[in-house]
A and B are shown apart, each in its own frame.
Chain A
């Protein structure tokens, strides 16, 4: 039997909008993944520490406050510093198109904007 895929859904920064994060967490759980949800107000350091400790395959970051350009790349960088860059980072939230290529250039593997069907997230995970 293969090991179950483990996903950490995290809320970096001070943003309190967790409807999307909680939906993704629950929907991925229903799809058979092991899902851990961090709760609000996580620093990049604490997200990376949780990701390593929980031995996850993916980190999904959700942010609607506009701080994604500062915080998402920081998390990718810290994973690398901690030799955990095999963990794949993806993100979602209120993120304008023009920022998506910036985030991808900085190690975020995929960005899912509002209205993305959960099936797209699942096929992304399965393709990795």
Chain B
């Protein structure tokens, strides 16, 4: 007599309720799924023994605590969104790359902005020298944004924008371009990163101090909940924390602690948790340690669900679901023997898919050398497509559940994360923990330990400290036009000649006035200024004057 009878019954209930609700509207990709050699493949494996902890710890996909995935059918219903982060040079060049990627079967856009754009400087600013168009596309005004999305229907594609401190300005640009295409705000789908706390911790593109930054963020939550309801208003990011050298558990701990801080900030403005929480999204890294990474993603989902339900009293299931984007680990790429990186990216892709990601960017093999070439971007995208269509791993849900070791690692990561969250609560929250340098110190100690292990060859990196070979670097590394700053300055001048400077000034004064109080939502005022072709730098300089600028707390 099998003693998992209860579980079999519960699975049947899950199938006839949670699954059916979805499959009635969105049938699975195939009527029947089999392995490569035609063995039938079950949608979901469950324990074939009595497991009293199963429902609490795992549950079913699409059901609390979402350990096994946020959607009932996961990739059997729809594959993850393949979303390659791209952008460089001018808006024209990036527009061409986006069209190329869409033609190659990519299913969503992800915009990389250059550093001046990310820090709210126009290309003409002295601070922009050397950086214009280097790590992403240069956007100074609505004019650039119109070119960037020229010929791309914004009601058809979803767009993710890696923009943080000036996120409201870039979102306003996007809305204004859509309006010109005849697409309304409520049709727009996509994400802004909008996660300032990890900028202070790890990524560095902050502008304003924490308090006004959190105000801008909660302004966006509120504005989008009413005007742009399908937009993901934030992508709470562990990616850069991991890149800075944290462990897997620290990545989850500090990301979730950042999430807690944003939820607290929004609740403080009087918003209802179930109004904004469903539009919060996450962004994680995927590294080489396959089993640890799978456990990390599973643990993150379970922890967030519990926190939203128990700590913040969310009632809507959508508020408890941790939906996330993944990017493979940039810091794991080596400059030596760059083709080896294709293999690393494949392992990391598998980790992300076994971990249940909603979308994925795969890095290109040559990114430790410079910007990726079109050819290497294609290999990176093909890696995802091979995993999706040939490996079979997308045909059953959460296949590592029930692995003794993965379950054990999932529990261990959860435990370590909760210890960190308690510690951060004791310090007084994430802003205080960052200002004290506590978070930075934790990450740097892990980074130092990791690097020392590589130096001592206790940790093998193939091609770097073992199996090395003499080699020539590939010579097809992409170079950005060094004259680009002049091109952008020319365009800013044209924009300024063709707009009504009087209207721009009026809108900027209105923005300044609203920014000097704390109770006005700045989003509509920024949109007004953007429509008149105020530049990014002009808008951010108004806010710099009102808000001041953040000073880094240096921790070594």
Contact = CB atoms under 8 A, between A and B. Distances in A.
10 contacts: A16-B202, A18-B244, A22-B447, A41-B204, A66-B135, A66-B371, A94-B369, A94-B370, A96-B473, A118-B455
Contacts of A32: none
Interface stretch (A54-62, A67-75, A78-86): A67-75
B170 to A, nearest CB: 16
A105 B141 CA distance: 38
A96 B129 contact: no
A114 B448 CA distance: 15
B205 A65 contact: no
B120 to A, nearest CB: 11
Interface stretch (B91-99, B214-222, B474-482): B474-482
Contact of A14 (B131, B331, B335, B480): B131
Interface of B: 115-116, 118-119, 121, 126-131, 134-135, 199, 202-205, 243-245, 331, 334-336, 368-371, 444, 447-448, 451, 455, 461, 464-465, 473, 475, 477, 480, 482, 552, 554, 556
By secondary structure, the A interface counts as loop
Given A18-B204, A94-B368, A67 B331 contact: no
Given A25-B556, A39-B552, A13 B130 contact: yes
Interface of A: 13-19, 22-23, 25-27, 29, 37, 39-41, 43, 65-67, 69-71, 94, 96-98, 113-115, 117-119
Contacts of B118: 14
B244 A15 contact: no
A65 B135 contact: yes
By secondary structure, the B interface counts as loop
Contacts of B119: 14, 41
Given A98-B477, A114-B335, A118-B455, A15 B552 contact: no
Contacts of A71: 129-130
Given A26-B556, A94-B369, A98-B475, A13 B335 contact: no
Nearest to A100: B473
Contacts of B444: 22, 26
Contacts of B121: 14
Contact of B204 (A40, A67, A98, A114): A40
A16 B556 contact: no
A36 to B, nearest CB: 10
A79 B91 CA distance: 36
A96 B370 contact: yes
B39 to A, nearest CB: 44
A96 B480 CA distance: 13
Given A19-B447, A94-B369, 15 more contacts: A14-B121, A14-B131, A15-B135, A16-B204, A19-B245, A25-B556, A26-B556, A27-B448, A39-B554, A66-B134, A66-B371, A67-B134, A71-B130, A98-B475, A114-B334
A94 B243 CA distance: 15
A13 B205 CA distance: 12
Nearest to B468: A115
Given A96-B369, A113-B335, A115-B334, A15 B480 contact: no
Contact of B448 (A15, A23, A97): A23
A37 B205 contact: no
Given A23-B447, A26-B556, A67-B130, A17 B204 contact: yes
Contacts of B134: 65-67
Contacts of A66: 134-135, 370-371, 480
A76 to B, nearest CB: 14
B246 to A, nearest CB: 10
Central interface residue in B336, B369, B477, by most chain A CB within 10 Å: B369
A119 B116 CA distance: 35
A37 to B, nearest CB: 6
Given A39-B554, A66-B371, A15 B204 contact: yes
A119 B336 CA distance: 18
Contacts of B335: 113-115
B486 to A, nearest CB: 13
B58 to A, nearest CB: 35
Nearest to A23: B451
Contacts of A67: 129-131, 134
Nearest to B475: A98
A19 B244 contact: yes
A81 to B, nearest CB: 17
A103 B454 CA distance: 28
A19 B243 contact: yes
Contacts of A114: 334-335, 368
Given A22-B556, A39-B554, A115-B335, A15 B370 contact: no
A93 B220 CA distance: 35
Contacts of A94: 368-370
A6 B203 CA distance: 28
A98 B369 CA distance: 11
Contacts of B368: 94, 114
Contacts of A117: 455, 465
A83 to B, nearest CB: 24
A114 B368 CA distance: 7
A67 B482 CA distance: 9
B175 to A, nearest CB: 26
Central interface residue in A27, A65, A115, by most chain B CB within 10 Å: A115
Contacts of B370: 66, 94, 96
A98 B448 CA distance: 30
A115 B464 contact: yes
A70 B130 CA distance: 5
Contacts of A23: 447-448, 451
B554 A37 contact: yes
A95 B110 CA distance: 25
Nearest to A14: B115
Nearest to A11: B204
A121 to B, nearest CB: 11
A15 B121 CA distance: 14
A32 to B, nearest CB: 16
A35 to B, nearest CB: 8
B477 A96 contact: yes
